[in-house]
């Protein structure tokens, strides 16, 4: 049984992460000082340090938590869906859903990783690499079975970039907009990855 104090601690950490992510997403990590951060979170410095040893620890937690979530989902998709077409659709849909629910956190994750010190940054980038590897493996599987165009590193990076930077314009407050976003991305995904007839031209 979960201890009530443990639940309260976890809830407070979640509140701090969400509040800090909103601030970092709109202002930038380096532009936000500890005084402003604590004021925005309604915490004294002592209370803040009870939850996180430093501002960088907080940033690392934001970056790690949501990439770890995406990686866990991708591993499940790989284990549960053998068809590369259906798996790729699931990967794309889940990525859009996570960005929609945690837009500020993912904005920080994609933009502020370079603000971390080297060891911390490498740890976060390793999560990114593991996550992207599942997308890459799925595209290559589809190529081998003839349902996807030949794998291209450039097309792969462009495809992921399209998804990642949707945080700039996605509208999670509108169910209709989110539905249309899913439809648009799935349509683009199908077009970009579709196998071409023999002899047809392929872009890099």
Indicate whether 43 pLDDT > 70. yes
Band of residue 177 on the pLDDT scale cut at 50, 70, 90:
very high
Q: How far is CA 119 from CA 58, 69, 126, in A?
A: 15, 21, 11
Nearest to 138 by CA among 98, 92, 78, 93: 78
Confidence of residue 101 (pLDDT cuts 50, 70, 90): very high
Q: Are 161 and 95 in contact (CB under 8 A)?
A: no
Q: 79 falls in which pLDDT band (50, 70, 90)?
A: very high
Which residues lie closer than 8 Å to 48 by C-beta, 6 or more apart?
16, 34, 37, 38, 41
Q: Which residue has the tokens 């010190």?
A: 117
- Supply the mean pLDDT for the chain: 91
With a CB cutoff of 8 Å and minimum separation 6, the contacts of 149 are: 143, 155, 192, 193, 194, 195, 196, 202
What is the pLDDT, as a whole number, of residue 197? 47
pLDDT exceeds 70 at position 152: yes
Among 29-33, 41-45, 190-194, which is the least confidently predicted range? 190-194
For residue 198, name the pLDDT band (cuts at 50, 70, 90). Answer: very low
Assess contact for 51 and 14: CB atoms under 8 A: no
193-to-3, 15, 83, 159 alpha-carbon distances in Å: 49, 39, 14, 9
pTM of the model: 0.88
Q: Report the pLDDT value the prediction gives residue 196, as an integer from 0 to 100.
A: 62
202, pLDDT greater than 50: no
Give the separation between CA 203 and CA 129, rounded to whole angstroms. Answer: 24
When pLDDT is averaged across residues 49-72 and rounded to a whole number, the result is 94
């Amino acid at each position: 049984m979960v201890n009530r104090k443990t639940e309260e601690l976890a809830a407070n950490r979640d509140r701090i992460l969400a509040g800090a992510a909103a601030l970092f997403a709109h202002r930038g990590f380096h532009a936000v000082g500890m005084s402003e951060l604590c004021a925005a979170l309604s915490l004294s410095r002592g209370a803040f340090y009870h939850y996180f040893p430093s501002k960088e620890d907080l940033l690392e937690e934001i970056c790690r938590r949501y990439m770890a979530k995406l990686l866990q989902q991708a591993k499940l998709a790989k284990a549960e869906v053998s068809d590369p077409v259906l798996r790729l659709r699931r990967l794309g849909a889940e990525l859009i859903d996570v960005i929609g629910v945690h837009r500020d956190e993912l904005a920080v994750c994609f933009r502020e990783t370079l603000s971390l010190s080297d060891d911390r940054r490498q740890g976060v980038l390793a999560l990114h690499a593991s996550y992207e590897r599942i997308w890459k493996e799925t595209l290559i599987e589809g190529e081998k079975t003839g349902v996807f165009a030949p794998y291209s590193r450039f097309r792969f990076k462009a495809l992921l970039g399209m998804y990642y930077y949707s945080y700039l314009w996605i509208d999670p407050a509108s169910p209709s907009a989110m539905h249309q976003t899913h439809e648009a991305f799935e349509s683009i995904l199908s077009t970009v990855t579709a196998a071409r007839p023999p002899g047809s031209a392929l872009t890099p």
